[in-house]
Amino acid sequence: MDHESCRTLLEGVSLFAEGEAPPELCAEIERHMAGCEHCRIVVDSLRRTIDLYHRLPQPAMPEKAREKLYKSLDLTEYMK
């Protein structure tokens, strides 16, 4: 990962992984990736990282905390 071209491309890799890089940048990154296994791995694992967090189940507020919140706001009587 010490090639100068890898470093240059890295700045745009996030957009590329999201599919939001402009076409010229996409073409440049694809060209580079074709000949650079390291960058292929980086892009693939970056995509997987983003995907994992999109699929991560979201933590819910514990019921006790919700009760305390309603109490602090003087809304307990409206709690469902």
Partner 1 sequence: MTDKASETGLLERIRAGEKKACVECVEIHSPGIYRLALRLMRQEADAEEVVQETFLSAFKGIDRFDGRSDLRTWLYRIAYNAAMMRLRRAGPEEVSVEEAAEPEEGALIPRALMAWKDLPEEELEKAEVREELERAIRDLPEKLRAVFVMRELEHIPTDGTASALGISEDVVKTRLHRARLRLRERLAPYFALPAEEAGGNHGS
Contact between 45 and partner 1 by CB under 8 A: the answer reads yes
Binding partner 1 (rule: CB under 8 A), the pick from 4, 11, 24, 63 is 11
Task: Identify which of residues 19 and 60 has a Cβ nearer to partner 1 in the complex.
Answer: 60
**4 contributes a contact to partner 1 by CB under 8 A:** no
H-assigned helices in the chain: 4-18, 23-34, 37-55, 63-72
DSSP 32: H
23, two tokens: 């076409």
What is the rounded distance in angstroms from the CA atom of residue 64 to the CA atom of residue 52? 29
Interaction site with partner 1 (CB under 8 A):
1, 7, 10-11, 13-14, 17, 38, 41-42, 44-46, 48-50, 52-62, 65-66, 68-70, 72-75, 78-79
